[in-house]
Structure formats: structure tokens, C-alpha cells
Structure 1
Amino acid sequence: MRTRMCFDDVALERSDAIQDAWVHELFKEDTLMAIGKFILKHRRGVPIELCDPKAGAFNVSFRMKFEDGGSAIIRFPKPGATMFPNEKVRNEVDIIRYIQQHTTIPVPFVLHWGTKEENPLGLGPFIIMEYIDHVMDLSVALNTPGFAIKDRPILDPYVDDTKLELLYGQFADILLQLSTLRLPRIGSLVQIDDFTWEVAQRPLSYNANELVRLGTLPRSKLPRVNETFQSASAYFSTLADLHLEHLTHQQNDAVDSADDCRRKYIARLLFRKLAKDGRFTTSSTNLGPFNIWCDDLRPSNVLINEHLQIVGVVDWEFTYAAPVKFSHAPPWWLLLEQPEYWPDGMEAWTKLYESRLQTFLKVLHEQEDVAIDRGRLNDEQRLSGPMQQSWESGDFWVAYAARKNFAFDAVFWRKLDGRFFGPGMSTEDDRWKERINLLTKDERANMVVEKKLAEMETRILAWEPDEVDPKILN
């Protein structure tokens, strides 16, 4: 059986095709000229060069160099990759300005931004920012030498301890500063005026985007745009419901057999039961305050100079106030690669991760000491203790499973099932047969097996590219 849910490959092909067609349009001479002129309207100076665009997972950026030595970039979300472009851009601008005002984390300065409707270029929503000069990103500095750009990064197994502690330590300070930003509800920040923000919109997560893009989840199944959460338990319950909706609605590559479908269905029902019973929260943290959390905060979005000093942190679009359990979990990126993609399997990842975690917690504790000495932190605000406890208790895996729909199955059966429901007598692949008795009569009767097996033969696209230009779709 599959250890994780695969992406819907029909949706993935369509997503890639839409992105490619849109990017192709960018290279037309008239388009490039218009982009350059638009940047100059919002960044003063004598232009020298409009550089070739750079594409990331969700955005395309153009950099304009100026005679004064500075640069500006304009960034557009890619249709086909970004399912909620206007919302994504608005959220990122508001959180960047909030972080800039409340921390010393180096984030880009926003010169101008606008929605799709406010873009005279017809290229969708945009942000124009000052470019942060850098030598490389943190992922490159930590990656195994000899890996190509197309290879998935893996932490250099022979990385120098001094170098690792230097880089981990700076990143630890970023996480520490974010953890001090406390908000009363779970959701995305909206800037009201120059000095006021409110949690007024849903938490637009990385996972929500991917559920719609690669899991063909109908947009209507996500929380409403203006929906926020006053408790961690309510949010965990919503995430658990989305796991079930994902299995129900993904048309292709969701299951590979009847037993695989039953196994996935039972795991999601049991996870939902735990969430509804409040097993993922405590009375001291359930009602907040809640911490700022960025789904996409990882080494590839952290920029460093030639002295290995962090000079910028970019790509804040999937950032929101989240349950404390998220920020109390140690960062998954210590090995660069995610556990579900580790070449030797999740248990090998876990074993190696533990050794690197101790290095990270050591430098985090040192950063806490410095912050306390400078009056920026109270002793009870330390993160190192909660992170160690999260790892030892297995709460790390609860937060990971809640946020990662496509990794859910491997995490649930290997890390959560035994903890919450006791040791099983059978193998991991067959454990679901023991757990079926934990379901209600209605839950056992309503398994979606026949429907999912029928879908295995269809290979159709069940996707709602809501905000994509119709010209691109044709």
C-alpha cells in the first residue's frame, strides 16, 4: 500500500500546463517593456537592467537594477500554481508590514502592491519590493555538495559543526521573535491602518492551496474567507474534517485498492475523533493567545551574505496566527528534506533528525539567553523547552499530520496510531483491521470504497481554476 497520498496527476499536469503557458506570455517584448515601466513608476532612480525572470513554486519575479546600486523586484503569483492569488498577495503584504513593525527580522520593504483588478499589466495581483542583495539562500549553504538544482536538498552529512551552529542559531532567533507575536484568534492578519492589524480572515495555509490544486478539493469545503477560529480545538477539528474531504473529493491517485481506501478512511476518522475529543489541545493553550506561524518558513526562503549572515527572509504568503502546538514543534527543515520524502524512509529520517535537533536546541537556548539579557524575552517565553517536549511526547507529529494532507497516512500509522490507540498486534499495513471496531456503526457503513474504486477508472479533471484567465485555459 502507498505510504502517502499521491498528487492527482491529472490536476498536476493541468497546473503545469497553465503555468507554462502564462510564463511563455511574459517573454513577449511588449510585456517585458510594460513590466519595466511599471516598476519605474514606483521606484525612483535611473534603471540599468531588467533581469531575466526567476520562477519559484508559486511566483515569478522580475528584478530591475538601478544606477544607485539598489534593485527592486516585481512579483506575480503564477496561475495554475496559486489558487487564491488576490488573497495570497494581500495576506503577504499585511504580514510583512506587521513583522517589520514588531520585530528585527529582515523582511523586504514593500513599495507598492495591488490586486488583479488594480494591475494595469493584466498579469494578476502583484507586489513591488526592494530587492535584498544576497549571495545565496540558506538551503544552498546547507545542502549536500554536488547536488544539482533539480535534486531535492538534503543536509550535508559532513557539515562543519561551527557552520551549522552559526546558521541554525540565526534561524532560531527568527523563530523566537515570531513566537513573541501573540494574537487573540486563529487566522490571517488584515491591516486596518498604519499601526493596527486584526485577525479578520481565514488562515490561508500552504496546505489549503495544495488541497485545491493537487487534491481537487472544492473551494467551498475550505473555511469561508472571513472565518477565523477562537480555539485551537476548533481549528484542529476543521483540519481533521479537511483530511476526510480530501479523500472523498480527490478524483485520481487517491487510493490504489479497496483495502488502501479503507485504511486511509479509518485513519482520517480516528484522527477526527481525537480532534473532536480535544486530544490535541490543552486547557492552557486552547483559547490562545496564538502565535504567528509561517507554513513556508524554511532555509530556501532565508537569504545570506558571503559571511553566512542572514540578510533577508522572504515569501511570507502562507503566514497566519496558529495553534501554539505549531510553533512549539521543532522545525521539520533541520535536515532540509521532509520526513515523507527521505530516501531511506521515515524512521531513518527520525533517527538522524534527533541528532541535529539537539544542535538546534542548544543554539536556540543560547539565543534565548541573549534575548533575556537584553530584555526582549521573559524566561517563561523560552521555546527550547516546549520544542524538546513536543518532540519527546510526539506532539511534533500531531502538528505535522494536521498540516500535511499528502503525508498524513504515513505519519498517522507510524507515529500517532500506537500513541493514542495502543500497540497493535498486526503489521502497519494491516493495523486498520484492528481499528475498524473503534468506528461507529454509521462510520463503518459509510465508507467511500466503491466510489473511490470507480474513480480509479475515470482519469478526469475535477478542478476549479477559479481565478485563471480563460485565455490561458484554452
Structure 2
Amino acid sequence: MAAPRKKLPSERWTSFDDWDYGGMKERLEDFMKSINKTALIEHASTIFGSPVSLSDPFSAGQSWCCFELVAPDHLLIARVRLPKHPDSNAPDAADEYLVQCEIATMEFLQANIKTVLIQIPKIYAYEGPGAAKAIEVGASYMLIQGFYGNSLQDVNDSLYDLPISTQEHIFAQWTAFQAELAVFTFPQIGSISQFSADTGPVIGAIATAWLEHLPNSGPFQSGWEYFVAVAEGLVTCALQRKRSDTEGAYNRFAVLAPLIFRNIVRDTEIFKSIQGPFHLNHMDMGMQNILVDDDYNLVAIIDWEFAQSAPWEVNHYPMPIPLISSDRETAEFLHDTKHIAHRNTSRQVGARLLYRQQFGEAERALEKRGNPLYCSIADVLEGKASRIYGEELTYELVRLGYGLTGSEAEEHVRMVEEEMKRTMVGVESTNG
């Protein structure tokens, strides 16, 4: 009896669908006209020493476009760099640094992670800006190992709708891999900018898509330095977006929340005692970067460009199970079984509890193997610093950071908003 045919990842890829906004579809269409796909096929064929076909559907993100190359016994992904995002003011050197850090991180993990079944893609080739093959293709690109699986987001974007046993199966693998990463610790906070088997990893500045907003990109010696830089970057980014909002549609809380986060980091003691060692973190391990097969077995983790050593407090509940309601609202929704939000809240709370429990299991397994974590991520998830770092609700930030609720919280938010308006006026006067 013949084995069932493996489903190619491209069978779930959506090409131009979902990109018809803000000129993004046109950006992709122009990109496709400029790419020499034949050159990609020829390069892949030389790597495998056999004919290769290119699947018609493609998968696009904000920075990369992926093409699927199929050989008789192999699967390859051509990850081709898109033109700079319209909202990005980052210099070209920053984009190239992101790629360098991603490659160095993947090489480090290939050499060091031996115990988990989830894979890090192998890099077969990278053709950077100015390379002969990149010029021939029309963009810089990397050829990486492909897998018979799709992102968890594409397979099922409502994780907590799945049976509990399936959620447990997913979370057990998800948290085990993150715990495995966290075994690797460093004295500084930053990205792996270089790696060789002889000299080991070198921690450099943080590789981030919004480097132009950071007053300092490290590497950092303390957690507080890092969170100050992140907070300042978030505020700069939010204010810039508000100033460019000519239609006045920008939500006031989109600026207030970063301002309050910055004030908490700067003015309270919550983040000031955070010291190393600092663990290796993917920093973007959401459902879009976790590949699974049809049975929800995790196959691979992709997109390593933002990976870095980081304070333990950057760990928080990921999509689709973030803390999206205040503690008070969550308690009310759970108590009132007739409330419209009761069912979804119950499932989200249950999924979060399961996620945290699985982190505990993963940490105990590492301890039995003689590789205990320096810090328990399961405990950190419920800590104040982690809650604040992952929080987007303005009044919940005020409660967590300052212990203020009700009229006192309202007054605090008004005070911050007045400060924001004065800052905006000052900047506009200076620029004018």
C-alpha cells in the first residue's frame, strides 16, 4: 500500500490574499515583476544536484517573501528580501545586520541544540546585497530547509477552540522548546551578531525592525538599561505615528500606554533590580512562526532575526492567549455565566493556565536532566514586571505599576495626557 502523499506547505499559502491594504498588494506585485525565479530554481538545483520545481503559491510577510522549491527527495524555501517597508526609516545597514544576526543565531542553535525534536532550519546559502546571485535574482535571499508543515496560525488561529488534550499537546512542545532555549545564558543583553565553533557566540547590538526608534541598541549590561531603551523606542514610535496621522484616527491610548510604560520603567523600582545572566529568547515565537503538521506536532521554529539574549521578564502570555482584559473584568466575566464574554474568557483563562503549567513541566524535565533554568519562566509569567511588559491596557498598566484604580487612575492618565500634549506642541514648535 502506497504511503499517503505529504501535503506541501504551499497548499495553504495565500499569495496576494489579505494584502489588499495601504499599497501592500501593489508592493508585492511590483516585487514579483522584478524577481528572476528561474535563477532561484537554478541555484536550488545546483545545491541538490537534481531538478527542482517552483510552486505557484507564495507566502509573504512584512520583510520576506517565501517561494517553495520542490526536489524529488527534498524541500527548499527561497526566502527573498522584500523592498524596505514603507513605514521604515531604518538604514540599509540595519536591515543587513538583522540578517547577519539571524544567520548567526541559527548556526549557534544548529551546533548546540541536540535534545528536542523541533528543528531550526538549515541554511544552504545566503546571497546578500551586491552578491552576484542576488543581483541576478533581483533581491538578496537565503535558501533554507523546508518542512512539511504550516504555521500554527494558518492551521488554526483559535487555539483555545481546540480540545484540551490538543492544547496540552501543543503547549507541551511550545514551552519545552522555549525552556530549551533559555538554558543558554549570557552576561549581556543583545543579539548573536557572530558565531563560530572555535570562538563561540558574540553578543552585539539588538537586531530589531524599529532600530531607528531606539536611543540605544546595546548590548546592555542590566535589565533596567534594556527596558529603558525599549520604552523610549516605543514612545518615539508612537509619537511619530500620531504626528503623521493627518486624519485624526489615531487612538489616544496608543500613545498613552507607551508613555505610562516608560514612566513605570523609569520612575518605579519594578524593573531596576533585573540583573543577569540573561537567557536566549526567540522574541517573536507566536503562532505565525511555529510550524506544525496536521496532527499538531511542532515541526520547526522559523524567523530568528529578532532572537536575542534578554531579561527573563520579556516572557509573557503569547497570542492568542494574551491578557486582554483587566483582572477585575476577567473575574466578572468568569463569575457571570450569562455574560456574552464568559465563554471566550473561560477558554482563554484555561489555555493560559495550561500554558503556564506546561512551562513548569518543561522546567522540571530540564532539572532532572541536570540543566536547571537560572530563573523559572512559569513564575515570571505571573510576576509584575512580565505583566507590565506584556500589557497594552492603559488603566491596567496604571494599576499594576502604581496601584491606582478608579478616580485616582483617571487623574493619573489625565496628567500623562497633558504631558503628552505639551511634548507634542514643543516638538511641533521646534520643527516649525
Output the TM-score relative to the length of structure 1: 0.70
Alpha-carbon distance between aligned partners in 2 of 1:301 and 1:322, rounded to the nearest angstrom: 19
Query: By how many angstroms is 1:174 displaced?
Result: 0.7
> Residue 158 of structure 2 contacts residue 320 of structure 2 at CA under 8 Å; is this kept in 1?
no
Residue 237 in 1 paired to residue 262 in 2? no
Aligned residue for 1:447, secondary structure, equals helix
Aligned residue identity for 1:272: R
Listed one character per residue, the Cα deviations across residues 117-154 of structure 1 (whole Å, up to 9, x for unaligned) are 222325332211121223x332344x2xxxxxxxxx33
Aligned residue for 2:173, secondary structure, equals helix
Listed one character per residue, the Cα deviations across residues 201-255 of structure 1 (whole Å, up to 9, x for unaligned) are 321235x27xxxxxxxxx3x43567x42111111111122223322432233389
Return closer, same or farther for 1:201/1:255 CA change in 2, 3 Å cut-off. Answer: farther
Alpha-carbon distance between aligned partners in 2 of 1:246 and 1:255, rounded to the nearest angstrom: 18
Aligned partner of 2:129 in structure 1 is 116
Alignment length (residue pairs): 384
> Residue 40 of structure 2 contacts residue 137 of structure 2 at CA under 8 Å; is this kept in 1?
no
For the aligned residue pairs, the C-alpha RMSD in angstroms reads: 3.6
Return closer, same or farther for 1:232/1:80 CA change in 2, 3 Å cut-off. Answer: same
From 49, 54, 59, give the equivalent of 1:50: 54
Matches for 1:352-363 after TM superposition, within 5 Å = 352-363=347-358
Listed one character per residue, the Cα deviations across residues 146-165 of structure 1 (whole Å, up to 9, x for unaligned) are xxxxxxx33353x2111111
Aligned residue identity for 2:222: S
From 86, 90, 95, give the equivalent of 1:85: 95
> Residue 159 of structure 2 contacts residue 167 of structure 2 at CA under 8 Å; is this kept in 1?
no
Query: By how many angstroms is 1:49 displaced?
Result: 1.4
Residue 64 in 1 paired to residue 82 in 2? no
Return closer, same or farther for 1:362/1:128 CA change in 2, 3 Å cut-off. Answer: same
Aligned residue for 1:128, secondary structure, equals strand
Query: By how many angstroms is 1:93 displaced?
Result: 0.9
Aligned residue identity for 1:106: Q
Query: By how many angstroms is 1:266 displaced?
Result: 6.0
Aligned partner of 1:404 in structure 2 is none
From 143, 153, 158, give the equivalent of 1:154: 158
Aligned partner of 2:8 in structure 1 is none
Matches for 1:183-198 after TM superposition, within 5 Å = 183-198=186-201
Return closer, same or farther for 1:308/1:175 CA change in 2, 3 Å cut-off. Answer: same
Aligned residue for 1:237, secondary structure, equals helix
Alpha-carbon distance between aligned partners in 2 of 1:369 and 1:382, rounded to the nearest angstrom: 10
> Residue 169 of structure 1 contacts residue 367 of structure 1 at CA under 8 Å; is this kept in 2?
yes
Residue 248 in 1 paired to residue 224 in 2? no
Alpha-carbon distance between aligned partners in 1 of 2:285 and 2:265, rounded to the nearest angstrom: 25
From 274, 285, 291, give the equivalent of 1:297: 285
Aligned partner of 1:222 in structure 2 is 214
Aligned partner of 1:179 in structure 2 is 182
Aligned partner of 2:3 in structure 1 is none
Aligned partner of 1:470 in structure 2 is none
From 239, 253, 262, give the equivalent of 1:272: 262
Return closer, same or farther for 1:48/1:17 CA change in 2, 3 Å cut-off. Answer: closer
Aligned partner of 1:147 in structure 2 is none
From 398, 415, 419, give the equivalent of 2:396: 415
Aligned partner of 2:29 in structure 1 is 20
Alpha-carbon distance between aligned partners in 1 of 2:34 and 2:193, rounded to the nearest angstrom: 33
Alpha-carbon distance between aligned partners in 1 of 2:67 and 2:320, rounded to the nearest angstrom: 30
Alpha-carbon distance between aligned partners in 2 of 1:176 and 1:222, rounded to the nearest angstrom: 28
Aligned partner of 1:212 in structure 2 is none
Query: By how many angstroms is 1:315 displaced?
Result: 1.3
Task: Structure 2 unaligned segments of length 5 or more: list them.
Answer: 1-20, 334-340
Output the TM-score relative to the length of structure 2: 0.76
Alpha-carbon distance between aligned partners in 1 of 2:176 and 2:270, rounded to the nearest angstrom: 27
Aligned partner of 2:336 in structure 1 is none
From 96, 106, 110, give the equivalent of 2:119: 106
Aligned residue identity for 1:132: F
